[in-house]
Structure 1
Amino acid sequence: MKALLMLLPLTLASCMAGPDAATRAATAPQADAAVTISSTTLSRQHWQLRDAVDGSNRRLDALLGLPDKPLQLDFSADRISVSNACNRISGSYRIVEGHLVTTQLLQTRMACADPTLTQRDTTITTVLQGGPTLILSSAGHTPLLTLADANGRTLTFAGMPAADAHPGDDGDTAPQQP
């Protein structure tokens, strides 16, 4: 009987830990092992900002102003460039364990009266230089690229096919959308 009483606290503790662990597992984002992000995959698209939220999941409206000129990222084999901000921003990059690692970004030094463009400069530079996690997903037939930084900001870009992209040139075997 003493042995049973001594096991009771351990049994209760394991029962109490179970639901929390199950809840965490159910809510944790699942990575798609089949999706590999490479410079070739990124260079196939012009990535235009679709959504932006801060660490409290509040929409960053300042980044989404000027819907006719969305903030845009373009990638080549080793360069990233940002358009539709106040200044032209570019630099070298590489992908390291699912994170975007950039060199010191270069930018023009124009003064902008438009606060939306100025905010775009500040935010995208901060996010890019912070080594954000890269998440590739899709919404229907539209590829999405999300940059998630350590402060909880997430910037989601929708892919628009680049004119000079060639499907399958990096050995991808994924079916191409018509």
Structure 2
Amino acid sequence: MRAAFLAFCLLSPLSACSIQGEDSPLSRTTWRFALIDGQPPDSRDARLSFEGRKVGVQVGCNRMDGPWRIEEERLIAGPLALTEMTCTRPAWDQEKAVNALLVATPRFAIEGNHMILQSSGHTAELVREGGPIERPTDTAEGR
């Protein structure tokens, strides 16, 4: 029954479903930032993780966390608490971009172990950590 509800919510563009916790495809996952607005992250530790009803974000030297849910193909995160340590300029700019992205209730798409978060002003490409690596089917080699 949960699988049917999840499929309906993710595939129906007109549904007003809200998915949280165990029913979400993001539940208990960690994602590494591959690109933030087209640029590689300044830190190799740039991660986004979903545990229970909390999202944790590490981009540079600061950490963000708060509640999250999925609603109508969008990731709703927040309000987010943010530490305020001084970072290098590239890391600081990327932290601000990711914070703005998450506050803007981005659309998200998952294909295999790849996820894209996109709002009107920012985009992040992420790769899932753990488990076997799956590549999207629409790659140059797979066409």
The answer, yes or no, to whether TM exceeds 0.5 is yes
Partner of 1:119: 93
Structure number, greater radius of gyration: 1
Q: Taking every aligned residue pair, what percent have the same amino acid on both sides?
A: 21
Asked whether the equivalents of residues 44 and 161 of structure 1 are also in contact (C-alpha less than 8 Å), the reply is: no
Letter in 2 for 1:79: K
Distance in 2 between the 1:74 and 1:154 partners? 17
Match for residue 55 of structure 2 among 74, 77, 80: 80
Give the TM-score normalised by the residue count of structure 1: 0.56
Partner of 2:130: 161
Asked whether the equivalents of residues 33 and 41 of structure 2 are also in contact (C-alpha less than 8 Å), the reply is: yes
Deviation at residue 44 of structure 1 after TM alignment: 3.7
Deviations 1:24-68 (A, max 9, x none): xxxxxxxx849xx86443134320011233xxxxx3x3x5234xx
Asked whether the equivalents of residues 117 and 123 of structure 2 are also in contact (C-alpha less than 8 Å), the reply is: yes
Distance in 2 between the 1:33 and 1:103 partners? 24
Asked whether the equivalents of residues 66 and 81 of structure 2 are also in contact (C-alpha less than 8 Å), the reply is: yes
* Number of equivalent positions: 114
**What RMSD over aligned residues (CA atoms) do the two structures have, in Å?**
2.4
Partner of 2:76: 101
Deviation at residue 70 of structure 1 after TM alignment: 4.2
Deviation at residue 77 of structure 1 after TM alignment: 2.2
CA separation of 1:84 and 1:121: change in aligned 2, threshold 3 A: closer
Give the TM-score normalised by the residue count of structure 2: 0.69
Structure number having the greater strand percentage: 2
